[in-house]
Amino acid sequence: MSYQQKFKSLGIEIPSILLPKSSPEFNMEKWPVIACDQFTQDRGFWRKVKDIVCASPSTFNMIFPEIFLADDDAAGRITDIHSNMKRYLKDGIFSPLGHGFIYLERDTPYQKKRRGLIAAIDLEHYDWHPDARPLIRSTEGTVRERLPARCSIRRGAPLELPHILLLIDDDKDILLPALGEMAKRNTPVYNTPLMMDCGNVSGWFLDTENDFSFIADKLDELCRRSSERYEGQPFLFAAGDGNHSLAAAKEIWNEIKEGIGDQVTEITHPCRYALVEIENIYDRAIQFEPIHRLVFDIGYEGIVSLLSKLPGFSLRNVNSEQELSASVSSGLLRDKPPESAVQYGNRFGVISEGRYALIETSASGIATACLQPLLDEYAKDNPQLIDYIHDEKELFRLSAGKEHTANLKVSGILLPPVQKSGLFETVARLGPLPRKSFSMGHSCEKRFYLECRSLI
């Protein structure tokens, strides 16, 4: 079987990637910008990004940071995004690389040399619905209400910029390290620091027949192995980040193909594909972090009352952020004699009105499975009462309430650590996890928009 045939069966398309042209006037450090779903309670962060970019060409002018989604100018912002994309294309700031992949390495303040592969995936092999078992699957629940805004951004856009991360289950870690050795025979197509002290990223272009054959062979091996593991249902890619952006891309493709009819499998419309970064879940530079919850319009007594509905609920007051963090992370409780200990399934921390409490529950499994239904019920009439915070320090800062009006109560819920082992097996067996169950690294480690692909 040729690599073209293998790629087709694996849901892979060799993309034509666009990068900005290098010139004395162009500042590459201002081009990449962090994923739009970060710092969702920190307008100051995004003001700093805007100040750094200033009038320079930047992906910042082609994205919609989620913190601004509820603002009155949302429709105008989307119009500006599309206009900026068209202007960049018209002004000729891009340099097409031709058909090929990009192997990249990312350094962050926490980890070094996280490896990835920029590729396009066929959305016909992806389905975000919880009962679906396609080749490319969601790892967490998709919230329909979050899709319209993302669809509006992609609908009619002449370009796409990826912050979607797909994971492969390469336990021997063969594919990406080998690609690194192959790629570095060439000079990088980019090598730049990332703004706001978020590290550095370098990329190398892969466009030879040998490159393509090697990638196709290794991915085909992983796919066949997954089919053996999961009762004949191959599971090659798990969406580790950007679940809703990928779901929005699928929705737009569904809209486009409605008028195509039975010939859909032969159509190669650019919106049939989505640009992604592929990473190995076993990469040592990938660490899973919990995504904490920030709950608005509720104080200490209210949040404790809400969490008391957890099975096997118990509460213990603690004295400081440090003690709460250590207790949630390790599960060790001071002043509790061993003979009275209970086998608890999960622990949460509460931060509200200057008070700290450790919550224990007998509910086992991933922590969000028992927590998220309670929060959904609380916020059923106003989903904006819940926000999702990626860093522990940020949660403590926001839970202090200084970012909000004096009359608005706010409570933070600190979640326990997340183990990445067993993710593929769990999703294969049970379907997507509750939404916002984990994060791949800290906020500053999130993917930066950099590469582009034409949608026209």
One pLDDT digit (tens) per residue for the chain, 456 residues: 999 999 999 999 999 999 999 888 899 999 999 999 999 889 999 999 999 999 999 999 999 999 999 899 999 999 999 999 999 999 999 999 999 999 999 999 999 999 999 999 999 999 999 999 999 999 988 888 889 999 999 999 999 998 999 999 999 999 999 999 999 999 999 999 999 999 999 999 999 999 999 999 999 999 999 999 998 999 999 999 999 999 999 999 999 988 776 565 556 899 999 999 999 999 999 999 999 999 999 999 999 999 999 999 999 999 999 999 999 988 544 334 333 333 458 999 999 999 999 999 999 888 998 999 999 999 999 988 999 998 999 999 999 876 655 568 999 999 999 888 789 998 998 899 988 899 888 999 999 999 999 999
Query: How buried is 82 (Cβ within 10 angstroms: 0-12 exposed, 13-18 middle, 19+ buried)?
Result: middle
Alpha helices, H only, 331-391: 367-378
Strands (E), 324-365: 346-352, 355-361
Within a domain: 96 = yes
Is-contact 101 116, C-beta < 8 A?
no
Within a domain: 359 = yes
Amino acid at 426: T
Please state, in angstroms and rounded to a whole number, the distance separating the CA atoms of residues 442 and 293. 15
pLDDT value at position 333? 41
Is-contact 179 117, C-beta < 8 A?
yes
pLDDT value at position 339? 36
- Note the residue count of the chain: 456
Amino acid at 274: A
Within a domain: 345 = yes
The per-type count for the chain, helices as H runs and strands as E runs, is 12, 24
Closest listed residue to residue 32, CA positions, set 52, 13, 12 = 52
pLDDT value at position 342? 38
> Do 225 and 109 sit in the same domain of this protein?
yes
Within a domain: 279 = yes
> Do 150 and 22 sit in the same domain of this protein?
yes
Residue that the structure tokens 């100018």 belong to: 73
> Do 70 and 164 sit in the same domain of this protein?
yes
> Do 143 and 284 sit in the same domain of this protein?
yes
Residues 6+ apart with CB under 8 A from 208: none
> Do 327 and 246 sit in the same domain of this protein?
no
Q: Which domain holds residue 301?
A: 291-417
Within a domain: 306 = yes
> Do 190 and 326 sit in the same domain of this protein?
no
> Do 284 and 298 sit in the same domain of this protein?
no
Number of structural domains in the chain: 2
> Do 400 and 279 sit in the same domain of this protein?
no
pTM recorded for the entire structure: 0.87
Within a domain: 389 = yes
Please state, in angstroms and rounded to a whole number, the distance separating the CA atoms of residues 357 and 348. 8
165 strand-pairing partners: 241, 277
Please state, in angstroms and rounded to a whole number, the distance separating the CA atoms of residues 236 and 225. 9
> Do 140 and 184 sit in the same domain of this protein?
yes
> Do 273 and 340 sit in the same domain of this protein?
no
> Do 49 and 159 sit in the same domain of this protein?
yes
Within a domain: 122 = yes
Please state, in angstroms and rounded to a whole number, the distance separating the CA atoms of residues 343 and 175. 41
> Do 185 and 326 sit in the same domain of this protein?
no
Residue that the structure tokens 């409780």 belong to: 333
Residues 6+ apart with CB under 8 A from 300: 350, 352, 353, 355, 357, 411
Please state, in angstroms and rounded to a whole number, the distance separating the CA atoms of residues 387 and 74. 19
Residue that the structure tokens 């709950």 belong to: 295
Tokens describing residue 421: 């082992």
Within a domain: 427 = no
